[in-house]
């Protein structure tokens, strides 16, 4: 496979064919993200992508999932997506699920009819970064999409028949704004009703604006049990009718994997036990992106 730069994929795509169709992120201005720092966004040559699909045909015939890298493959025009998904179906008929990252910005260029067509061609899993339900916080972090816009585009994804996974970030509100961030994030997840909600815990990355804000004292990073307390409030305000609520990323202090709504009470109890000192939390040295 021909890869350029950093290849980022969701934890649940660990056993997937990673097909890089773009390099970098089309936005690449989020204050907390260092995944593609210094990398110029570009769309990869179609012939190169098709050659990688053929390579996967020869060397990965048993893998049943495929993920389109990098940061936001949905910026590709419909003609490119149609041709690519048709090639995947032709050359990799065993692939039962194709997934991709998507943002509200890239989804603005796709109608419900077009998303439904992409679903019929095999694109069935979309990962979106909500990060926070607080519009002011999203603006400060450079997201360039408001909560209402993210909710609207997530609704289109679900109406098109695709599964939706949504990421949020504990700690993003800082020590002073954590309560508002947690409450509004839970309320936004409730409105979105994703198939999967995944909460990560903030880890600052050198070279990002957030790293500089911490250094100059304008942002105070919550620590340890404060992150756990925030995760608890987010879960408390999240009322999903179905699906998974996950906090099992390596960045999290207390790993959770909850089937909602059945396991919500158990999740709150586990977090309460950690806050009371009855359950250990992951030490800082063990937390990783």
Sheet with 65-69, side-by-side order of all strands: 17-20, 65-69, 97-102, 123-131, 163-170, 196-201, 244-246, 257-259
- Quote the DSSP letter at residue 110: -
Residue whose token pair is 């954590």: 178
What is the number of alpha carbons within 13 Å of residue 147 lying toward its C-beta? Answer: 19
Residue whose token pair is 């604006």: 209
Q: Could you tell me if 131 and 182 are in contact, meaning their C-beta atoms sit under 8 angstroms apart?
A: no
Q: What is the Cα–Cα distance from 33 to 167, expressed in whole angstroms?
A: 13
pLDDT by position in tens, the chain (length 289): 999 988 999 989 999 999 999 999 999 999 999 999 888 899 999 999 999 999 999 999 999 999 999 988 999 999 999 999 999 999 999 999 999 999 999 999 899 999 999 999 999 999 999 999 999 999 999 998 999 999 999 999 999 999 999 999 999 999 999 999 999 999 999 999 999 999 999 999 999 999 999 999 999 999 999 999 999 999 999 999 999 999 999 999 999 999 999 999 999 999 999 999 999 999 888 888 7
Q: Could you tell me if 246 and 258 are in contact, meaning their C-beta atoms sit under 8 angstroms apart?
A: yes
Q: What is the Cα–Cα distance from 220 to 204, expressed in whole angstroms?
A: 11
Looking at residue 231, its pLDDT comes to 98
Q: What is the Cα–Cα distance from 146 to 271, expressed in whole angstroms?
A: 30
Residue 172: which of 209, 207, 210 has the closest Cα?
210
Residue whose token pair is 């943002």: 103
Contacts (Cβ under 8 Å, ≥6 apart) of 15: 63, 65
For residue 74, give the H/E element and its range. none
Looking at residue 39, its pLDDT comes to 86
Helix (H, G, I), strand (E, B) or coil at 201: strand
- Quote the DSSP letter at residue 221: -
Enter the pTM of the model.
Answer: 0.95
Q: What is the Cα–Cα distance from 132 to 169, expressed in whole angstroms?
A: 7
Helix (H, G, I), strand (E, B) or coil at 129: strand
What secondary structure does DSSP assign to 264-289, as a single string? HHHHHHHHHHHHTTSS----GGG---
């Amino acid at each position: 496979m021909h890869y350029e730069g950093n290849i980022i994929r969701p934890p649940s795509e660990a056993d997937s064919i990673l097909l890089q169709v773009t390099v970098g992120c089309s936005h690449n201005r989020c204050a907390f993200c260092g995944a593609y720092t210094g990398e110029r966004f570009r769309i990869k040559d179609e012939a190169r992508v098709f050659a990688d699909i053929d390579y996967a045909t020869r060397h990965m015939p048993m893998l049943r999932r495929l993920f389109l890298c990098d940061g936001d493959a949905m910026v590709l025009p419909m003609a490119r997506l149609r041709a690519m998904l048709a090639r995947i179906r032709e050359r990799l008929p065993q692939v039962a699920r194709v997934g991709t990252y998507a943002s509200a910005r890239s989804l603005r260029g796709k109608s419900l009819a077009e998303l439904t067509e992409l679903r019929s061609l095999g694109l069935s899993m979309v990962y979106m970064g909500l990060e926070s339900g607080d519009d002011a916080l999203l603006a400060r972090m450079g997201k360039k999409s408001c909560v209402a816009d993210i909710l609207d585009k997530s609704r289109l994804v679900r109406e098109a028949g695709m599964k939706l996974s949504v990421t949020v970030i504990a700690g993003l509100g800082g020590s002073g704004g954590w309560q508002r961030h947690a409450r509004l994030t839970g309320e936004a997840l409730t409105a979105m009703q994703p198939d999967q909600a995944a909460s990560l815990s903030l880890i600052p990355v050198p070279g990002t604006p957030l790293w500089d804000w911490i250094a100059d004292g304008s942002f105070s990073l919550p620590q340890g049990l404060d992150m756990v307390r925030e995760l608890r409030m987010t879960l408390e305000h999240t009322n999903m009718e179905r699906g998974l609520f996950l906090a099992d990323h390596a960045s999290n202090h207390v790993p959770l994997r909850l089937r909602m709504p059945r396991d919500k009470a158990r999740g709150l109890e586990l977090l309460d036990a950690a806050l009371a000192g009855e359950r250990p939390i992951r030490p800082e040295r063990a937390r990783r992106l």
